[in-house]
Structure 1
Amino acid sequence: MNSKSSLYLLLATFCSSPVLSKSLSELTYLSEEYPPYNFSEEGLVKGIAVDLLIAASDEANERVMGSDIALQPWARAYRSTLIKPDTVLFSTTRTELREELFYWVGPIATTRIVVLAKKVNQIIINSPSDLAQYRIGVIRDDVGEQLLLEAGVPRDSIMENFHAENIAQQIQKGRIDLWAYEENVAKWWISTAGYKASAYEVVHVLQEGELYYAINKNTEVATVERLQKSIDIIRDTDNEDGVNHFEVILNRYK
């Protein structure tokens, strides 16, 4: 065989060989303290989204461990996922503004982004323009902040923070008037801070939607599709005893 024939054989072999996509266990997973979807407890990362991810990776025989998930402030994790290939961020509210920024896998759960206030303050919001007169706490780069800005609320009315527990304390102490955040998570943080969640009410709904895993677009599509397929199986398939694995996960956090 001459050198030209050898080169053709080498090229043909290379082109016909399947390109192996990255394993789910090779991706970088970023999250935040966002209970009951993802949070830490006694040094362990847990929550609905965490357990669903681990179950889906097991379904694909590409196990992801809780220890593979890094909990970071939301703004840092969000920006890292925007620029770093093979990075997954959760739990992320899927919005029109974010739609083209990521690949989306899910859904994880339904969600409601709201504006909370103390009941005793009797704040009434009839339209987004009414929000401008109040001091509104948000997590930097969170969907709550993005939706406020989309609604035309001026930045001067928006008080950024990196940690939800700080905002829970600020609204309780009257340093801010309102909190724009995911309803269940906000109430969880208020309770965790030692206050009564029942003392707060929703005065405005910014958006109802769903939580997803957001994946950097420089990630192999085959890997993304494999994760979606495995999540679909976990969510939609009952075992031989008629038990749905995803329902079992949800029941752990009720």
Structure 2
Amino acid sequence: MAFAEHPSALAKIEYLTESYPPYNYLENGELKGIAIDLLDEVLQQDEIERQVAKIRLLPWPRAYKMLLKGANHVLFSTTRTQEREPLFEWAGPITSTKIVLLALTENQIEIQSIDQLANYSIGTIKDDIGEQLLLSLGVSNKQIRQAHSAESLVKMLNKGRIQLWAYEENVARWYIANSNLPNNQFTSVFTLKESELYYAFSKDVDPKLISRFQNAIDKIKLPVKKESQSRYQKILSRYQ
């Protein structure tokens, strides 16, 4: 069944996202990023302008809670993990992702195993993949220092209020640079997980719609005749 037969289907979903550059973020009042541009391409196949679709930029803990409760939501960019797999339905991938622990370079911290993490305080955002991975690995809640934003975590790490920061590496580097700090002042000392980012749908969304959404993504990634890049590759190149 083609999108055109149900032109309002995708517009009825409430799209939730957070500030997670370069994947999704707000710049000069406009939503941008790899996941935003890919969503635009999907919507255009249903002849929907982005202004018609309802996209809300929210703090991650609030958006994640809304997704769990359902009510026709999709949240992006969401790291797909074994723990999250049964909670949502999925379309993607958007791109690959790496969740790491960052430390101040000058502290010369070396992490070889999870057991060593017991010696450090670690900054996270509530319900972010970094925090969920730490808890699944047995890290104590007493070690975790939650913050409301990545900007806050950059400051906390820089001022020594935490020793490690669990976050997606590319996003962390973006926030460091935008805090007017040199990126070489921070080092990735341990990889918690390499995975992929997806659009996560609440369980109440029509499976047929999710299937059509996935088919649209697959089509966008296909090579275009007489062009060196697919539409998907062109999106990625804008943020390199």
The equivalent position to 1:130 in structure 2, one of 110, 116, 120, is: 116
1:67 Cα offset (Å): 7.0
Is the 8 Å Cα contact of residues 99 and 169 (structure 2) preserved in structure 1?
A: yes
The structure that has the greater radius of gyration is 1
Is the 8 Å Cα contact of residues 98 and 193 (structure 2) preserved in structure 1?
A: yes
1:247 Cα offset (Å): 1.1
Q: Which deviates the most, 99-108 or 77-86?
A: 77-86
Deviations 1:17-76 (A, max 9, x none): xx9796111100000000000000000011000000010111233443497311100000
Q: For 2:228 and 2:238, how far apart are their aligned partners in 1?
A: 18
**Within 5 A, what are the aligned runs for 1:99-114?**
99-114=85-100
User: Does 1:206 find its partner at 2:192?
Assistant: yes
User: Does 1:81 find its partner at 2:64?
Assistant: no
| Counterpart residue identity of residue 59, structure 2 | P
Q: For 1:135 and 1:198, how far apart are their aligned partners in 2?
A: 21
SS in 2 for 1:111: strand
Q: Which deviates the most, 141-150 or 56-65?
A: 56-65
User: Does 1:244 find its partner at 2:230?
Assistant: yes
Gaps of 5+ in 2: none
Is the 8 Å Cα contact of residues 45 and 67 (structure 1) preserved in structure 2?
A: no
| Counterpart residue identity of residue 229, structure 2 | V
With over 3 angstroms needed to count, the CA separation of the structure-2 counterparts of 1:60 and 1:20, relative to structure 1, is closer
Deviations 1:146-169 (A, max 9, x none): 000111110000011121100011
Is the 8 Å Cα contact of residues 39 and 46 (structure 1) preserved in structure 2?
A: yes
Q: For 2:7 and 2:199, how far apart are their aligned partners in 1?
A: 19
Q: Tell me which residue corresponds to 2:220.
A: 234
**Within 5 A, what are the aligned runs for 1:156-171?**
156-171=142-157
Give TM-score scaled by structure 1 length. 0.89
Q: Tell me which residue corresponds to 1:217.
A: 203
**Could you say which structure has the higher helix fraction?**
1
User: Does 1:69 find its partner at 2:32?
Assistant: no
1:251 Cα offset (Å): 1.1
Deviations 1:106-128 (A, max 9, x none): 00000000001111101111111
Is the 8 Å Cα contact of residues 83 and 216 (structure 1) preserved in structure 2?
A: yes
Is the 8 Å Cα contact of residues 136 and 178 (structure 1) preserved in structure 2?
A: yes
**What is the aligned residue count?**
236
Q: Which 4+ runs in 1 deviate beyond 2 A?
A: 19-22, 60-68, 239-243
Q: Tell me which residue corresponds to 1:191.
A: 177
Gaps of 5+ in 1: 1-18
SS in 2 for 1:236: coil
| Counterpart residue identity of residue 24, structure 1 | L
User: Does 1:172 find its partner at 2:158?
Assistant: yes
Is the 8 Å Cα contact of residues 76 and 199 (structure 2) preserved in structure 1?
A: yes
Q: For 1:63 and 1:97, how far apart are their aligned partners in 2?
A: 34
**Within 5 A, what are the aligned runs for 1:32-51?**
32-51=18-37
With over 3 angstroms needed to count, the CA separation of the structure-2 counterparts of 1:147 and 1:66, relative to structure 1, is farther
Q: Which deviates the most, 145-154 or 228-237?
A: 228-237
Q: Tell me which residue corresponds to 2:103.
A: 117
Q: Tell me which residue corresponds to 1:152.
A: 138
With over 3 angstroms needed to count, the CA separation of the structure-2 counterparts of 1:51 and 1:20, relative to structure 1, is closer
Identity of aligned residues (%): 44
| Counterpart residue identity of residue 164, structure 1 | A
With over 3 angstroms needed to count, the CA separation of the structure-2 counterparts of 1:173 and 1:226, relative to structure 1, is same
SS in 1 for 2:71: coil
1:94 Cα offset (Å): 0.2
